[in-house]
A and B are shown apart, each in its own frame.
Chain A
Amino acid sequence: MIKKATTHVNQNEGLIFERSRPGRVGYKLPALDVEAEPIDSLIDSKLLRDGDLAGLPEVSEVDVIRHFTRISTWNYAVDFGMYPLGSCTMKYNPKLNERVARMEGFAASHPYTPDEFAQGNLELLKELEDALAEITGLAAVSLQPAAGAQGEMTGLMVIRKCLESRGAARKLVLIPDSAHGTNPASAAICGYQVKTIKSNANGAIDLENLRQVVNEDVAALMLTNPSTLGMFEENIEEVCRIVHDAGGFVYMDGANMNALVGVTRPGDMGADVIHLNLHKTFSTPHGGGGPGAGPIAVTKELEPFLPFPRIIEEKNHKGERVLRLEYNRPQSIGRVRAFHGNYAVLVRALCYIVTLGPDGLREATETAVLNANYIAHHLKDVYEVAFDGQPMHEVILNDKRQQKTGVHTLDIAKRLIDYGFHPMTVYFPLVVPGAMMIEPTESEGREELDLFIDAMKSIAREAEADPELVKQAPHNTRIGRLDEAAAARKPALRWKPAKTSSAAGRE
């Protein structure tokens, strides 16, 4: 076997622990200018560890740099290609956002800066609150929640606090069976029992069923619109009316706002609370790329219960308009996040909104919906579409036709990696057996969409002609098919020093 001087692009990389050589270091300390003292004369020996640190890697600086730099080139990212992960809105993150977030006034200001010296920073928050209020059609916005799930929890706490102020918190939160798993989790954390409501054959809320289950015990209905099936909830106004008539609130999960921004507004449909995933809809980095942000927008009635601090406008002694953080909010649920939320993420989101403007935001939405429909149109003869009707910004296929040759959704997703794409979302929503959920977003041009469609068609042909090829994919990666069941059942969560072979601890 040829030994290469540098790691080949297809070659695997060992663990940093395996690179360890006894005595190798990456530092050089200056000579002591004091008398050397034995360590146990300075620190009680009870507190000293006795050799259980053995096995920590002994490496040089260049070993460390090469190891991590090589691994860093293995990431798949939206900067490399399409990332059609349905329900996640993996749109491109414009570099202008990054530039603006790094401006000194934003990046270097201290969270304890007194309000009078942080007027620009507060102004940015105020502008973003106002923009999001306009986009959602609701009265007030809190930018505090750090991510979507925390937004859900904050929104439900606000609803609960408002109901308590009316007399009783009520008991139930209704959630459709197609919902994101975070919805029932948020409701349970806020002390509510979850009642699942079944979707009808078209994946929409069954109005008759809803009328039957709504009563004075229902605190809120949580729903996603478009639903996680990618369909617009056409009866949304009636749904909201039924819940409101019983004195409950409508919580809208904003995960799918990328299908609505600039075209229609949740507040106009009757929603009382919505959270927005800035890392989805508003182009801030997603997942491992940095923290998210999950602001909530609420109606006028719910505003007093929002987390503090709130940003308020007032006049200073010279009669000039100034902004101030208000902490005296007696009805508020309290703080949900330190300081001002994930501030640098908020900067990026406002940058995106201002860059596109109202017409640009609408065009982005229309393009996202068009792209999903383009994919649905070209794949519907090859893969079964889970639901009839017009998809919005994402489309759900299933593996029914491919199952005939023993090829399943997981195999198709793995094979897609060989074609250079990140897999789509698989096996979600749970109500669709073998779901493949594809969300191209507006970022992709027609050429990239065509490449994806060709790849999916090619995989469908392979599933017929050579099912084993698909079932054993991926083939073009450093590591082949992983045993996901063993990884979940018997996870190797940490490296352990080798006793006999250098590969111990790796499974």
Chain B
Amino acid sequence: MAAYPDDLHYTKDHEWIRVSGDTGAIGITDFAQEQLGDVVHVQLPHVGEKFDAHATFGEVESVKTFSELYTPVSGEVIEINEALADAPELVNTSPYGDGWMVKIKLSDPGQVDSLLSASEYEDFVESQKEE
């Protein structure tokens, strides 16, 4: 069973963001890592790059597929998870913890309100499964 922690905000593209103050950590959800299978490479942006909401900020490659990463909200990258370069499997083993991808400084914290809550995201995932 996929996990849906309550303290996160989610997108329909299966990213999450953990907001604290005006910064947020971004990663992909447990459901997303399950669907991808074993992650073998994560391509991340550079610190200082600025992204609009829903922009492609990186790529994740697994043994069976390849997927783009989208920003839940707009902001500037202030830190990337360097550990993923040598240990991409962290995305599988700890999607909400050590498998985080980038931290951004939010340019418009109000955008977070438009994201899905844990229960809304869970409903969305279930509706996708039934299709």
- Please report A residues at the B interface, Cβ cutoff 8 Å: 181, 409-410, 426-427, 430, 433, 484-485, 488-489
Contact = CB atoms under 8 A, between A and B. Distances in A.
Given A433-B35, A485-B89, A427 B64 contact: yes
Contact of B66 (A181, A426, A433, A485): A181
Nearest to B88: A489
Contacts of A410: 37, 64
Contact of A488 (B35, B40, B65): B40
Given A181-B66, A427-B64, A430-B65, A485 B35 contact: no
A58 B28 CA distance: 51
Contacts, number: 26
B18 interface: no
A484 B38 CA distance: 9
Given A181-B66, A427-B65, A489-B40, 8 more contacts: A410-B37, A427-B64, A430-B66, A485-B89, A488-B38, A488-B41, A488-B63, A489-B38
Interface of B: 35, 37-38, 40-41, 63-67, 88-89
A489 B65 contact: no
A181 B40 CA distance: 18
A181 B67 CA distance: 11
Contacts of A409: 64
15 contacts: A409-B64, A410-B37, A410-B64, A427-B64, A427-B65, A430-B65, A430-B67, A484-B38, A485-B37, A485-B38, A485-B40, A485-B89, A488-B41, A489-B38, A489-B40
A448 B89 CA distance: 41
Contacts of A489: 38, 40, 88-89
B41 to A, nearest CB: 7
A73 B107 CA distance: 61
A181 B88 CA distance: 22
A426 B64 contact: yes
A133 to B, nearest CB: 36
Contacts of B40: 485, 488-489
Nearest to A426: B64
Contacts of B64: 409-410, 426-427
Contacts of B35: 433
Q: Residue among A181, A426, A427 with the most chain B CB within 10 A?
A: A427
Contact of A484 (B63, B65, B66): B63
Nearest to A485: B38
Contacts of B88: 489
Contacts of A427: 64-65
Interchain residue pairs A-B with the least CB separation, the first 9: A485-B38, A488-B40, A427-B64, A484-B63, A489-B40, A427-B65, A485-B63, A430-B65, A488-B63
Contacts of A484: 38, 63
A430 B35 CA distance: 12
B14 to A, nearest CB: 13
A266 B67 CA distance: 31
B127 to A, nearest CB: 14
Contacts of A488: 38, 40-41, 63
B47 to A, nearest CB: 24
A181 B65 CA distance: 11
A485 B38 CA distance: 6
Nearest to A433: B35
A472 B64 CA distance: 17
Contacts of A485: 37-38, 40, 63, 89
Contacts of B89: 485, 489
Nearest to B63: A484
A485 B36 CA distance: 12
Q: Residue among B35, B65, B88 with the most chain A CB within 10 A?
A: B65
Nearest to B128: A433
Contacts of B65: 427, 430
Nearest to A489: B40
Contacts of B38: 484-485, 488-489
A181 B61 CA distance: 13
A433 B31 CA distance: 13
B98 to A, nearest CB: 15
A5 to B, nearest CB: 39
Contacts of A430: 65-67
A489 B86 CA distance: 8
